[in-house]
């Protein structure tokens, strides 16, 4: 069991966005978060990543948000070497091969296309050697080839014992995936608590 | 933490000429002082300690708002925040990189610039030492200010307003330690060192609180 | 425990509504009595004439200028540790009052200084410290205004207040080294003039008490306004 979430409430600012979320994440599983825009998928992912709270839920986490996390004035190799140093891993050569970045190794990241930049961002996830991947719309505005590549990499990651929580509108054809519809956890209006609205006259 | 320091130095050198811009600014600030107050060597000699320190302050300010801003804009800050390095470690690394690319060059460049302002011969050693000891405080305080204003668009002016008051103790002691009338500069240098050590030890935690608030 | 109950905005509003009239009246009376007594019913100092009577305005405002920042410091700590919104808003509310107190203290100090030492301003430790405090206040308010999300703003301004307090203290002592170096013995320390005799002592106490209560009154009024503004903002966001 990699991750246990029980009765979680998530807030954006003071406003309660989702209430009473519970789920378990086992090794090898893919959890797909579905729901309309604004329903709280990003909020939930950021919470689990440890960005919106003071306590980290789990050490073994890699988070990929809307932005790529790529320094555009460094080369591909320099970008990845940096993350290798941070996470103290040495699988860089393999990662570059897996994500088909061999041809661009010495290219300045700012000159890459959007798809190539996204692959570079994904390479970071692989370099971290983290078990749990949190991905917020990883394939938005990417072409079919790149999307397939990303699906394959996620599948491989889960097969090797990792897990992923992914928010997406696209069908990624991931085996062994559960779906969690976030809109089911929308709090009822009168359960929302905002200290400033008490006793509003 | 070292990969982050090295990366930031590399980034600073690669974009916008790195420390060369900072030094050019330092030079220009010192240069315009005689244009403003006159070229009387006696006067310049008396105000040189203060002017050199103020010039160093302002030159440090230049590159501060970029410390976190660039990483914020391309998502790297979030990626770093979810990495094994704690936020306070990130702040320390960035402040160190800032000092290496700004504070240190400024300290070294102050010597020839002191000559331009006819600095008293006996003060050169104190100039070097006081800047060497005091600029780390400037970098760490500046990093704190940058952490506060990382989410503010065009926050450079606000950043300056917030941290210049925090620079005042270091500035006062630094300029004073070089002045001709001072009896015991070592005592003042010790105080500057104490302030710098306090900043290095404690401000990263304040930075972590600020970064966490902005990342929410 | 019971004091923490009033951290709840609604409870705070009811309590402050009840005590505000009494506070306002008491503080006004105390100030009025103190100032009138001090200005008109005390003998002129043999050395300084009547100008020294500005002390009845100068000392209370100077004290409150510093105490306002201290109150902000405590409120900021409470916000960071216990996340009570009223605390954060009280700190924000106190800042402009602190600025006003500081400005009045500096101005009355200048008015006092001209006949006494021949100058409106001197860079002596105490005056300089007040100037530095003023700039700290400005920075604090500027940060509140620059951040959109109010809770983030509360976090950031709280940590700024805490760090600022440490540096304000540092400045207070660094100024002594700085001033002694450049001016030999030109210390216009107001401490020397604090040797007031009984005739001044009691009206001064009354003025100080009145000023403290005035500060509390104004902070409560402004905090109530801040709470209402937050409520408005929340409702607006909710309905959009």
Q: Are the C-beta atoms of residues B57 and B140 closer than 8 Å to each other? A: no
Cα gap A88→C231, rounded to integer Å: 48
Residue B68, H or E segment: helix B66-74
Distances (CA, A) of B175 to B110, B172, B178, B201, C176: 13, 6, 5, 24, 14
Cα gap C67→A66, rounded to integer Å: 46
Q: How high is the pLDDT of residue C182?
A: 41
Mean pLDDT confidence for B138-147: 96
Least confident of B150-164, C44-58, C67-81: C44-58
Residue A136, H or E segment: strand A132-136
Q: Are the C-beta atoms of residues C21 and C81 closer than 8 Å to each other? A: no
Q: How high is the pLDDT of residue C183?
A: 39
For chain C, which chains pass the contact test of at least 3 CB pairs under 8 Å? A, B
Q: What digits encode the pLDDT tens for the residues A138-147?
A: 888 788 888 8
Which residues in chain A have their CB less than 8 angstroms from residue C148's CB? none
SS3 A169: coil
Q: What does the domain layout of chain C look like in residue ranges? A: 19-42+53-239
Q: How high is the pLDDT of residue C164?
A: 95
Query: Which residue spans of chain A are classified as CATH 3.40.50.300?
Result: 1-60+131-201
Q: Which of C8, C85, C231 sits opposite A200 (nearest CB)?
A: C231
For chain A, which chains pass the contact test of at least 3 CB pairs under 8 Å? B, C
CA–CA min distance C217, chain B (Å): 29
Distances (CA, A) of B187 to B44, B107, B191, C175: 25, 20, 6, 15
Q: How high is the pLDDT of residue C196?
A: 57
Q: Please, which pLDDT band fits residue C46 given cuts at 50, 70 and 90?
A: low
CA–CA min distance A72, chain C (Å): 28
Distances (CA, A) of C12 to A31, C2, C26: 45, 12, 20
Q: Is residue B74's pLDDT more than 70?
A: yes
For residue A87, how many other CB atoms are within 10 A of its CB? 19
> Which residues are CB-contacts of C161 (< 8 A; sequence separation ≥ 6)?
C69, C72, C73, C76, C91, C140
Which DSSP state fits B180?
Answer: T
Nearest CA in chain A to C231: A196
Selected residue with higher pLDDT from A185 and B160: B160
Residue among B166, B173, B156 at smallest CA distance from B203? B166
SS3 A135: strand
Q: How high is the pLDDT of residue C187?
A: 42
Q: Which fold has domain C19-42+53-239?
A: 1.20.120
Name the β-bridge partners of A61: A132
Cα gap C131→C175, rounded to integer Å: 12
Please return the burial class of C18, using the count of CB atoms within 10 Å of its CB with bins 0-12, 13-18 and 19+.
exposed
Q: Which of C85, C237, C238 sits opposite A195 (nearest CB)?
A: C85
pTM recorded for the entire structure: 0.91
Q: What digits encode the pLDDT tens for the residues A188-197?
A: 765 556 777 7
CA–CA min distance C81, chain A (Å): 12
Q: Is residue B110's pLDDT more than 50?
A: yes
Cα gap B20→B13, rounded to integer Å: 9
Q: CB-based contact (8 Å) between C9 and chain A?
A: yes
For residue A6, how many other CB atoms are within 10 A of its CB? 9
Mean pLDDT confidence for B138-146: 96
Mean pLDDT confidence for C188-216: 75
Backbone angles phi, psi at A186, to 5 degrees: -65, 130
Cα gap C240→C235, rounded to integer Å: 9
Tell me how long chain B is: 216
Cα gap B115→B30, rounded to integer Å: 11
Least confident of B113-122, C58-67, C109-118, C163-172: C109-118
Q: Where are the alpha helices (DSSP H) in chain C?
A: 2-5, 9-40, 55-82, 85-117, 125-146, 150-182, 198-239
Which residues in chain A have their CB less than 8 angstroms from residue B80's CB? 86
Cα gap A42→A137, rounded to integer Å: 9
Q: Which of B151, B165, B210 sits opposite C139 (nearest CB)?
A: B165
Q: How high is the pLDDT of residue A107?
A: 86
> Which residues are CB-contacts of C153 (< 8 A; sequence separation ≥ 6)?
C143, C144, C146, C147
Which residues in chain B have their CB less than 8 angstroms from residue C146's CB? 149, 152, 155, 158
Q: How high is the pLDDT of residue C177?
A: 78
Q: What digits encode the pLDDT tens for the residues A35-52?
A: 888 788 888 888 888 888
Q: How high is the pLDDT of residue A111?
A: 87
Q: What digits encode the pLDDT tens for the residues A59-118?
A: 788 898 888 888 988 889 899 999 999 988 888 888 888 888 888 888 888 888 888 888
Write the class of the CATH domain A1-60+131-201: alpha beta
SS3 B181: coil
Q: Which of B165, B206, B212 sits opposite C132 (nearest CB)?
A: B165
Q: Is residue B44's pLDDT more than 60?
A: yes
Mean pLDDT confidence for C4-21: 83
Q: Is residue A153's pLDDT more than 60?
A: yes
Mean pLDDT confidence for C29-40: 86
Q: Which of A14, A197, A199 sits opposite C151 (nearest CB)?
A: A14
Which DSSP state fits A75?
Answer: B
Selected residue with higher pLDDT from A196 and B92: B92
Q: What does the domain layout of chain B look like in residue ranges? A: 2-215
Cα gap B5→B89, rounded to integer Å: 10
Least confident of B17-31, B168-182, C32-46: C32-46
Q: Please, which pLDDT band fits residue C134 given cuts at 50, 70 and 90?
A: very high
Q: Please, which pLDDT band fits residue A171 given cuts at 50, 70 and 90?
A: confident
For B:156-175, CB contacts with C below 8 A are 158, 161-162, 164-166, 168-169, 172-173, 175
Q: Is residue C1's pLDDT more than 50?
A: no
Residue among C169, C178, C176, C206 at smallest CA distance from C191? C176
Mean pLDDT of chain B: 92
Residue among A144, A93, C142 at smallest CA distance from B164? C142
Q: CB-based contact (8 Å) between A47 and chain B?
A: no
Distances (CA, A) of A28 to A2, A149, A154, A174, B47: 10, 18, 10, 11, 70
Selected residue with higher pLDDT from C190 and C93: C93
Q: Do A15 and C238 touch (CB under 8 A)?
A: yes
Cα gap A81→A85, rounded to integer Å: 6
Q: Are the C-beta atoms of residues C68 and C101 closer than 8 Å to each other? A: yes
Q: Please, which pLDDT band fits residue C56 given cuts at 50, 70 and 90?
A: confident
Which DSSP state fits C190?
Answer: G
Backbone angles phi, psi at C184, to 5 degrees: -85, 100
Cα gap A178→A137, rounded to integer Å: 16
Which residues in chain A have their CB less than 8 angstroms from residue B3's CB? 82, 85-86
Q: What digits encode the pLDDT tens for the residues B162-209?
A: 999 999 999 999 998 988 777 888 989 999 999 999 999 999 999 999
Share of chain B above pLDDT 90, in %: 72
Residue among C87, C69, C79, C77 at smallest CA distance from C164? C69
Q: Do B165 and C135 touch (CB under 8 A)?
A: yes
Residue among B87, B112, B179, B101 at smallest CA distance from B138? B101
Selected residue with higher pLDDT from B209 and C113: B209
Q: Please, which pLDDT band fits residue B115 given cuts at 50, 70 and 90?
A: very high
Q: Please, which pLDDT band fits residue C212 given cuts at 50, 70 and 90?
A: very high
Q: Please, which pLDDT band fits residue B112 given cuts at 50, 70 and 90?
A: very high
Cα gap C18→C6, rounded to integer Å: 13
Strands A3-12 and A15-25: antiparallel
Mean pLDDT confidence for C179-190: 46
């Amino acid at each position: 069991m990699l991750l246990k979430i029980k009765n979680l409430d998530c807030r954006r600012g003071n406003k309660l966005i989702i209430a009473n979320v519970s789920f378990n994440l086992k090794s090898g599983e893919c959890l797909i978060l579905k729901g309309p825009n604004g329903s709280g998928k990003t909020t939930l992912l950021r919470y689990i990543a440890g960005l919106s709270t003071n306590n980290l839920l789990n050490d073994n986490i890699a988070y990929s948000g809307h932005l790529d996390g790529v320094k555009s004035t460094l080369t591909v190799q320099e970008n990845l070497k940096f993350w290798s140093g941070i996470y103290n891993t040495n699988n860089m050569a393999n990662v570059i091969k897996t994500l088909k970045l061999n041809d661009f190794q010495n290219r300045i990241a700012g000159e890459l296309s959007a798809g190539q930049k996204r692959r570079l961002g994904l390479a970071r996830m692989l370099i971290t050697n983290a078990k749990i991947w949190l991905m917020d719309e990883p394939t938005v505005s990417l072409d079919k080839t790149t999307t397939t590549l990303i699906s394959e990499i996620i599948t491989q990651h889960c097969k090797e014992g990792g897990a992923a929580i992914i928010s997406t509108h696209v069908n990624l054809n991931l085996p062994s995936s559960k779906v969690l519809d976030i809109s089911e956890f929308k709090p009822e209006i009168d359960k929302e608590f905002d200290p400033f609205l008490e006793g509003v006259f | 933490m070292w990969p982050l320091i090295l990366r930031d130095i590399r980034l600073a050198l690669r974009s916008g000429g790195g420390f060369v811009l900072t030094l050019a600014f330092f030079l220009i600030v010192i240069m315009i002082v005689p244009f403003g107050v006159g070229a009387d060597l006696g006067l310049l000699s008396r105000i040189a300690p203060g002017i050199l320190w103020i010039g160093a302050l302002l030159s440090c300010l230049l590159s501060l708002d970029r410390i976190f801003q660039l990483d914020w804009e391309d998502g790297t800050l979030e990626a770093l925040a979810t990495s094994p390095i704690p936020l306070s470690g990130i702040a320390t690394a960035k402040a160190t990189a800032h000092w290496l690319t700004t504070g240190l060059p400024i300290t070294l460049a102050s010597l020839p610039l002191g000559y331009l302002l006819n600095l008293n011969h006996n003060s050169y050693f104190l100039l070097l030492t006081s800047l060497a000891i005091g600029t780390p405080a400037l970098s760490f305080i500046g990093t704190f200010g940058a952490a506060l204003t990382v989410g503010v668009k065009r926050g450079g002016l606000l950043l300056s307003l917030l941290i210049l008051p925090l620079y005042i103790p270091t500035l006062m002691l630094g300029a004073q330690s070089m002045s001709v009338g001072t009896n015991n500069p070592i005592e003042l240098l010790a105080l500057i060192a104490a302030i710098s050590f306090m900043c290095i030890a404690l401000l990263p935690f304040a930075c972590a609180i600020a970064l966490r608030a902005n990342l929410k | 425990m019971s004091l923490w109950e009033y951290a709840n905005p609604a409870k705070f509003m009811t309590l402050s509504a009840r005590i505000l009239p009494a506070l306002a009246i008491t503080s006004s009376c105390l100030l009025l009595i103190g100032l009138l007594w001090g200005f008109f019913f005390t003998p002129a100092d043999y050395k300084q004439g009547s100008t020294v009577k500005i002390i009845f305005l100068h000392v209370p405002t100077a004290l409150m200028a510093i105490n306002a920042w201290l109150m902000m410091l405590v409120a900021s700590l409470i916000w960071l540790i216990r996340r009570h919104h009223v605390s954060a808003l009280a700190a924000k509310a106190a800042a402009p009052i602190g600025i006003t107190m500081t400005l009045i203290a500096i101005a009355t100090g200048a008015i006092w200084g001209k006949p006494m030492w021949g100058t409106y301003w001197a860079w002596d430790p105490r005056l300089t410290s007040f100037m530095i405090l003023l700039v700290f206040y400005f920075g604090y308010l500027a940060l509140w205004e620059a951040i959109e999300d109010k809770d983030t703003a509360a976090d950031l301004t709280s940590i700024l207040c805490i760090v600022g307090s440490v540096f304000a203290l540092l400045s207070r002592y660094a100024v002594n080294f700085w001033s002694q170096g450049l001016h030999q013995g030109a210390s216009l320390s107001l401490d020397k003039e604090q040797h007031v005799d009984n005739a001044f002592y009691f009206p001064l106490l009354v003025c100080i008490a009145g000023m403290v209560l005035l500060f509390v009154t104004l902070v409560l009024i402004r905090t109530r306004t801040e709470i209402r503004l937050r409520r408005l903002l929340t409702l607006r966001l909710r309905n959009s």
